[in-house]
């Protein structure tokens, strides 16, 4: 196996706030073997503010430089980030250090793999969350609606409330969307994430689950700051030992069931509770982690 350098591509709409969402991965450095993969839908990134779609020309420009067959092509030089004649680790590092715009790169990381293409796929699955398809969003909406109905039925306790569509910022600055938070005046007690296990493509489901597992583990390790109510709302702490909860639908196919089994194993190791929305329909109090 060869040694490669990798960078995570980040959308940073406001450098002062320092919040970001991962949108891609760049891998290279071994015998001019480079690979790039970025999201196909920018709506999730744009939920942080601004229009992440405007990064597409820069990403396409970078893709042309990564691809050997396009590397010598003549391109519009406006907004050029990397030299057109070649691409090197030094080029990427200079761009990373000196560029301070909406497209930023993480610090470099060393990894070993058979090829840049193999490594970029692995890292993308672990670091980047893709936007759900229309059909997938419909199923997610059903899960969220059932969970919301359960919260409306249960007694949360004195001074506790719940909110939907909250943003969690972990220690490294990346922002993740969570579907629900249960909170008191000074802290967030529970974060809930909805996952659709009836997705039609096995690879896409595994990618989604793996990416969320990585972020859940980071929050479990270091806690997070939770924004409730948007830019004018409150920001409350969520402790690393706080309650993390996953609500999901029941898988239908054999591979969907296997993916859920693997996820449950991970959740158990990190003290993350889970319930299907069908279970919560029958017993609404199960929407609250024990």
Distance CA 92, CA 84 (A): 12
Distance CA 105, CA 22 (A): 9
pLDDT band at 90 (very low <50, low <70, confident <90, very high): confident
Q: Confirm if 98 and 82 have CB atoms less than 8 A apart.
A: no
Pick the more confident residue, 275 or 73.
275
Measured in residues, the chain has a length of 290
Which residues of the chain does CATH 3.40.1350 include? 134-287
Q: Kindly tell me if the per-residue pLDDT of 71 is higher than 50.
A: no
CA distance readout (Å), 5 to 38, 84, 207: 17, 20, 21
Please give the model's pTM, rounded to 2 decimal places: 0.61
| Tokens 């391109």 belong to residue | 75
Q: Which of 246, 282, 248 has the alpha carbon at shortest distance from 150?
A: 282
The dotted CATH code for 134-287 is: 3.40.1350
Pick the more confident residue, 77 or 219.
219
């Amino acid at each position: 196996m060869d040694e490669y350098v990798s960078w995570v591509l980040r959308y940073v709409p406001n450098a002062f706030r320092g919040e970001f969402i991962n949108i891609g991965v760049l891998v290279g450095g071994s015998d001019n073997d480079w690979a790039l993969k970025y999201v196909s839908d920018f709506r999730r990134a744009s939920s942080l503010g601004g229009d992440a779609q405007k990064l597409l020309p820069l990403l396409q420009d970078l893709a042309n430089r990564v691809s050997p067959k396009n590397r010598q092509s003549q391109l519009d030089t406006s907004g050029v980030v990397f030299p057109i004649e070649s691409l090197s680790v030094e080029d990427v590092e200079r761009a990373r250090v000196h560029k301070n715009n909406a497209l930023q790169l993480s610090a470099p990381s060393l990894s070993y793999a058979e090829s840049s293409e193999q490594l970029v796929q692995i890292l993308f699955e672990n670091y980047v969350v893709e936007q759900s398809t229309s059909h997938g969003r419909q199923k997610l909406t059903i899960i969220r609606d059932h969970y919301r109905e359960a919260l409306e039925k249960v007694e949360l306790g004195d001074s506790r409330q719940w909110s939907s569509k909250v943003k969690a910022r972990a220690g490294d600055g990346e922002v993740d969307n969570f579907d629900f938070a249960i909170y008191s005046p000074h802290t967030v007690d529970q974060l809930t994430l909805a996952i659709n296990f009836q997705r039609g493509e096995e690879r896409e489901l595994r990618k989604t689950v793996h990416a969320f597992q990585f972020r859940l583990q980071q929050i479990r390790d270091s806690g997070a700051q939770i924004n409730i109510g948007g830019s004018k709302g409150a920001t409350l702490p969520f402790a690393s030992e706080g309650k993390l909860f996953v609500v999901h639908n029941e898988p239908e196919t054999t591979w969907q069931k296997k993916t859920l089994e693997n996820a449950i194993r991970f959740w158990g190791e990190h003290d993350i509770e889970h319930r299907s929305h069908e279970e919560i329909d029958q017993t609404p109090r199960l929407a609250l982690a024990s």
